[in-house]
Amino acid sequence: MRWKGPLTFRHLLVAVLVMILVNAQLTWWLLFALRQSRDRLDLERQHLVELAQHHVLRIESALLEAEVGLLQSLAQPGFSPADLPRPFISVAPTIDSKCHSHWKNNGFDLSYVTQGLEECLQITPDSEWVSSLIDVGASLEIVPIGITREEAQTRTPMPQLELSHPFDAQVIRPQRQAWDEILETYRSRIVMMVSEGSFFAIMLLVLIGLLWKTMRREVELERRHRNFLSAITHELKSPLAAVRLSLETVLRGRADKAAGIRFLENALHDTERLQSLVQKVLEVTRFSGGDSNIRLRNANLSQVVEEAVDAFSRHTSAAGVRLDTHIQPDIRAKVDLEAFPIAISNLLENALKYGGNRPQITVRLDHADGKAILDVTDNGAGIASQEAQFIFERFYRCGDEMTRTTQGTGLGLFLVQEIVTSHSGSVVIAETGPSGTTFRVTLDEVGRWEETR
């Protein structure tokens, strides 16, 4: 699929709708995962309760089976201790006020009491069988009822199942550690899912924000591009029309010799204007987007600035421009001797375009704290605060192209920033206001001793 045309609000709307759907899907997944996690918690706890119920039934069944087997053996004629069924291992007479068939439990010291032929008998089972009988695994425990009542007053109660006789003083319940581990695992899953959901939600919001920022940048760039096309069309059309008119007037003999010379001079001036415009576009192509075309060398920056100012003053000497210079001598820096004068020339042209009715330009070169500082000041109306942040961007021009009267394409200050940045320097608006604007270029100063290295 090929993308055609610039980004529009329709593209933004589609992207936002897609992200909203993704976010809705994410929210549904999070709610579903939370519910599933809660169900899993309930199932794990229910598993422990059912496991406890299984052990309750197992203990009751084992006791009943042992009791039935014992009573059947005792009912056999000629019974002797050697005929005891498993799990019983010994029999002895006892004095018990309740000498009827029942289990007797002293703690977990289990025995069975029943009436024999002539006396009351106490029959003891195998201790290993008793141990296996009350073995409920690592996730459950058998504790006295009194302990569970005390814990219920200070801690969250756990489900518990009462055992039947002879263990009716005990209950079987989940181990506190196993119970708490299930809850802790559930909380960890909740934290993980909420964290992941929040992370993805934040990422979606960030993506929407970035998309909105990109959309605004694309729209603004498209607007500037249209302004540039309008400006470049005007800048090309006006001098071309003037050159054609001048040449046609001379060729058709509509002017005398003196007037013909003036027409030719005007045509030459317009040709130079066209050449300057084409040169500006070529300079942007050459020096923007990196410093691969920049060749830095230690140079006398003071001399470079003076030569650039002199070259500019020769072109504007007849325009009534007042040009003041305050250049400290012998300031040295690493500059490209071809590119940096272009940056100075663009700053001077900008000061001329946006100066007052009688342009007054001040160029000041000084140094401080190991930095070379170049200031170019005009006497114009200043730059609005809402436009100052865009002044160095490609194609940007203050105001609207349809009502703007100053010539230009919106490339001059952009080219200045590209060149200065490639020199590892900076260019900023140092001051602006009703009395004028100062652009400040800062470069690293180079000492004399470094020039010979």
Q: Tell me: the pLDDT tens digits for 220-255?
A: 667 666 665 655 565 566 667 777 777 777 777 777
**SS3 of residue 144 by DSSP:** strand
In this predicted structure, which of 4-18, 42-56, 193-207, 324-338 has the lowest mean pLDDT?
A: 4-18
Cα–Cα distance for residue pair 359/114, rounded to 1 Å:
127
Give the model's pLDDT for residue 282: 60
131, 87 in Cβ contact below 8 A? no
pLDDT, averaged across the chain: 79
Question: Does the pLDDT value for residue 29 go beyond 90?
Answer: no
Q: Are the beta carbons of 109 and 125 closer than 8 angstroms?
A: no
- Kindly state the average pLDDT of the residues 352-363: 82
Domain 289-451 classification at class level: alpha beta
Q: Report d(CA 360, CA 379) in Å as an integer.
A: 6
CB-based burial label for 46 (10 Å; 0-12, 13-18, 19+) = exposed
Residues of the chain with CATH 3.30.565.10: 289-451
Which pLDDT belongs to residue 11?
A: 67
Tens digits of per-residue pLDDT, 255-265?
A: 777 777 777 77
Sheet architecture: strand order including 426-433? 322-327, 360-368, 371-377, 436-444, 426-433
pLDDT, residue 292, reads 53
Residue 262's pLDDT is 79
Average pLDDT over residues 297-315: 85
Burial of 350 (0-12, 13-18, 19+ CB in 10 A): buried
* pLDDT at position 434: 84
Q: State residue 401's pLDDT score.
A: 47
How many whole angstroms separate alpha carbon 235 and alpha carbon 225? 15
Least confident segment among 69-78, 262-271, 381-390: 262-271
Residue 218's pLDDT band (boundaries 50, 70, 90)?
Answer: confident
Q: Which carries the bigger pLDDT value, residue 329 or residue 218? A: 329
Residue 141's nearest CA partner among 160, 156, 169 is 160
- The percentage of the chain sitting over the pLDDT mark of 70, rounded to a whole number, equals 79
Q: Please state, for a pLDDT cut of 90, what percent of the chain lies above it.
A: 11
pLDDT at 195 over 50: yes
More confident position, 234 or 117 = 117
pLDDT attached to residue 449: 40
Average pLDDT (364-393) is: 85
Given a cut of 60, whether residue 448 has pLDDT beyond it is no
List the Cα angle 276/281/285 in 5-degree steps. Answer: 140
Instruction: State residue 238's pLDDT score.
Output: 64
Over residues 5-12, the mean pLDDT reads 60
pLDDT in tens, 271-286: 766 666 666 666 555 5
**H/E segment holding residue 69:** helix 9-74
Q: What is the pLDDT of residue 104?
A: 87
Q: Is the dihedral of CA 248, 251, 257, 263 positive or negative?
A: positive
Higher pLDDT, 314 or 305: 305
pLDDT greater than 90 at residue 407: no
Residue 153 CA: distances (Å) to CA of 144, 157, 180: 16, 8, 17
From CA 33, how far away is CA 196, in angstroms rounded? 11
Which pLDDT value is given to residue 269?
72
**What is the pLDDT averaged over residues 98-124?**
85
Taking the C-alpha atoms of residue 80 and residue 62, their distance in angstroms, rounded to an integer, is 23
Q: Are 406 and 353 in contact (CB under 8 A)?
A: yes
pLDDT at 42 over 60: yes
Lowest mean pLDDT among 159-163, 311-315, 348-352: 311-315
SS3 of residue 137 by DSSP: coil
Query: Is 90 exceeded by the pLDDT of residue 75?
Result: no
pLDDT over threshold 60, residue 184: yes
* pLDDT above 50: residue 1: no
pLDDT-based confidence at residue 53 (cuts at 50, 70, 90):
very high
Q: Which helix (DSSP H) or strand (DSSP E) does residue 333 occupy?
A: strand 332-335
Model confidence at 3: pLDDT above 50: no
